[in-house]
């Protein structure tokens, strides 16, 4: 048993609504105690009880670690030329996914594992303490299975995305691929997955195919989430709400009717600012979603095609600048929003009994996350009370 008092915190974001201190449950000149990986006390510095150790964070601020509820970390290869072509006027399409599928199939397990570990470390450096990751670049039973087996070594929130696109070899018989995903592939992959996801969009899977796949996943004990409305306003949002998906992600194209549908549902609206940024798309209106009453999350969507970033501060800055979020709303969406999208109540907030997953920011307030875009302000990242990354600045 060991406890540490972190004190002299300029601004502490708790996300604890019971404190009645605004959306972020903000405390100034604050302190908290970490004990055996959990938070055991939070409050004003002047009222702090004693602990075994004492760390002064004078002038710095503390936030719950970011919760990245949408990432594709299991892949090989590089698509920087495709990105460059887009910046020269080409448009993004689901077709580019096959480039990564071919590279992933050709990679060794060691190469894939190293890629996940490298990107996970980048995430810790950006303040992410919980992340989800998907398969989806294998698209054969063996390659999806090995992707998931590797992923479970890095996170508990693993998602089976065999339904990412119809692979080239099934282009002329898409129904056979859907049957494979629902049958043999799901059976092999379910033991290594908590979630099931489908890319329900133009050039990928339609409403009926997506519904069949998500329902099969539910029957196999997986929980559904969905890639919705990235390329077009399809019926993906309707399906998300119909099946009580934990989250509908992207929402680049969003009608007022769809906003109301999400607001009246348990489905979290997950926005992926890196994707609009890297595909030069128009941004959805986060403020409108929030005002309608929807729960909103922000995630990185880290993948080699549409959003090759592991930086949550970057996503927050873009959400504030281009999705009309306030800084408070964006920070909440990147912490509690992500936790809600993953249906996790142990992370995303700093309150007694919750995981001691937190970030020390080299700034007097979380406002600097958007106020100082592109500047690395993460001083230290802790998971379960243990420092997992420390800046050497
Ligand atoms: O979430 N939209 C589908 N999947 C990924 C992109 C995949 C890729 O282009 O490789 C996404 O943006
Ligand atoms: Fe994605």
Span from the CA of 331 to the centroid of ligand 2 (angstroms) = 20
What single DSSP character describes residue 235?
A: S
- Whole-number Å distance, alpha carbon 44 to ligand 2 midpoint, is 40
For position 296, what pLDDT does the model report? 98
CA of residue 358 relative to chain centroid, distance: 16
DSSP-assigned beta bridge partners for residue 329? none
The answer to whether 197 and 226 are in contact (CB under 8 A) is yes
Instruction: Quick: pLDDT tens for 360-371.
Output: 999 999 999 999
- For ligand 1, whether the C-beta of 306 sits within 6 Å is yes
**Which ligand number lies closest to the CA of residue 137?**
1
Say if ligand 1 is within 6 A of residue 273 CB.
Answer: no
Furthest-apart CA pair in the chain: how many Å?
69
User: What phi and psi, each to the nearest 5 degrees, are found at residue 260?
Assistant: -65, -40
Domain boundaries, the chain: 3-65+349-390, 67-341
Q: Which residue has the tokens 């970057």?
A: 314
Q: Which atom of ligand 1 is found nearest the CA of 249?
A: 1
Atom of ligand 1 nearest to the CA of 75: 10
Question: pLDDT tens across 96-123, in order?
Answer: 999 999 999 999 999 999 999 999 999 9
CA of 308 to the centre of ligand 2 (A): 11
Which atom of ligand 1 is found nearest the CA of 201? 2
Task: Please give the helix or strand (H or E) that residue 312 lies within, else none.
Answer: helix 312-322
Q: Do domains 3-65+349-390 and 67-341 have the same CATH topology?
A: no
Beta strands per DSSP E along the chain: 3-13, 26-35, 38-44, 53-56, 61-64, 66-68, 128-134, 157-163, 195-200, 223-228, 247-250, 268-271, 296-298, 358-361, 378-383, 386-390
CB-ligand 1 contact for 204 (6 Å cutoff): no
Q: Say which CATH architecture domain 3-65+349-390 belongs to.
A: Roll (2.30)
| pLDDT tens digit sequence for 291-328 | 999 999 999 999 999 999 999 999 999 999 999 999 99
Single pTM value for the model? 0.98
117 within 8 A of 335, measured Cβ to Cβ: no
* Per-position b or e across 133-162, b if 16+ CB within 10 A of its CB: bbbbbbbebebbbbbbbbbeebbebbbbbb
Confirm or reject: Cβ of 227 under 6 Å from ligand 1: yes
What confidence score (pLDDT) does residue 94 get? 87
Structure confidence by residue, pLDDT tens digits, 194-237: 999 999 999 999 999 999 999 999 999 999 999 999 999 889 99
What is the distance in A from the centroid of ligand 1 to the CA of 80? Answer: 14
CA angle 340, 162, 345 (to 5 degrees): 15
14 C-beta closer than 6 A to ligand 1:
no
Q: Which CATH class is domain 67-341?
A: alpha beta
Neighbours of 226 (CB within 10 A): 29
pLDDT in tens, 125-142: 999 999 999 999 999 999
What six digits make up the tokens of 319?
Answer: 């959400």
Q: What's the 250 CA to ligand 2 centre distance in angstroms? A: 8
């Amino acid at each position: 048993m060991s406890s540490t008092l972190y004190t002299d915190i300029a601004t502490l974001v708790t996300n604890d609504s019971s404190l009645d201190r605004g959306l972020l449950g903000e405390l100034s000149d604050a302190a908290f105690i970490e004990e055996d990986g959990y938070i055991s006390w939070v409050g004003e510095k002047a009222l702090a009880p004693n602990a075994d150790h004492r760390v002064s964070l004078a002038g710095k601020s503390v936030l719950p670690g970011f919760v990245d509820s949408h990432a594709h970390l299991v892949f090989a290869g590089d698509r920087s030329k495709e990105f460059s072509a887009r910046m020269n006027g080409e448009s993004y399409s689901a077709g580019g996914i096959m480039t990564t599928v071919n590279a992933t199939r050709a990679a060794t397990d060691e190469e894939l594992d190293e890629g996940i570990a490298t990107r996970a470390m980048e995430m810790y450096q950006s303040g992410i303490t919980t992340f989800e990751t998907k398969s989806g670049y294998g698209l054969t039973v063996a390659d999806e299975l090995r992707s998931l087996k590797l992923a479970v070594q890095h996170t508990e929130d693993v998602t089976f995305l065999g339904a990412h696109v119809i692979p080239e070899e099934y282009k002329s018989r898409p129904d056979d691929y859907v049957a494979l995903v629902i049958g043999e592939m799901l059976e092999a992959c379910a033991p290594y997955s908590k979630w099931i996801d489908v890319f329900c969009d133009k050039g990928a899977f339609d409403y009926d195919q997506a519904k069949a796949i998500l329902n099969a996943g539910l029957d196999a004990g997986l929980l559904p989430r969905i890639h919705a409305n990235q390329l077009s306003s399809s019926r993906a949002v309707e399906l998300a709400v119909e099946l009580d998906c934990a989250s509908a992600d992207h929402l680049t194209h969003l009608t007022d009717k769809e906003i109301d549908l999400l607001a009246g549902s348990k489905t979290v609206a997950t926005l992926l600012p890196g994707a609009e940024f890297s595909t030069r798309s128009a941004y959805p209106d986060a403020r409108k979603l929030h005002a309608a009453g929807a729960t909103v999350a922000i995630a990185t969507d880290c993948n080699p095609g549409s959003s090759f970033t592991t930086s949550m501060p970057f996503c927050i800055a873009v959400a504030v600048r281009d999705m009309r979020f306030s800084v408070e709303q964006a920070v909440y969406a990147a912490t509690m929003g992500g936790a809600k999208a993953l249906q996790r109540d142990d992370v995303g907030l700093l309150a007694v009994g919750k995981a001691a997953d937190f970030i020390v920011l080299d700034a007097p307030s979380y406002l600097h996350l958007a106020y100082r875009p592109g500047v690395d302000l993460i001083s230290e990242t802790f998971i379960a009370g243990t420092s997992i990354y420390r800046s050497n600045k």
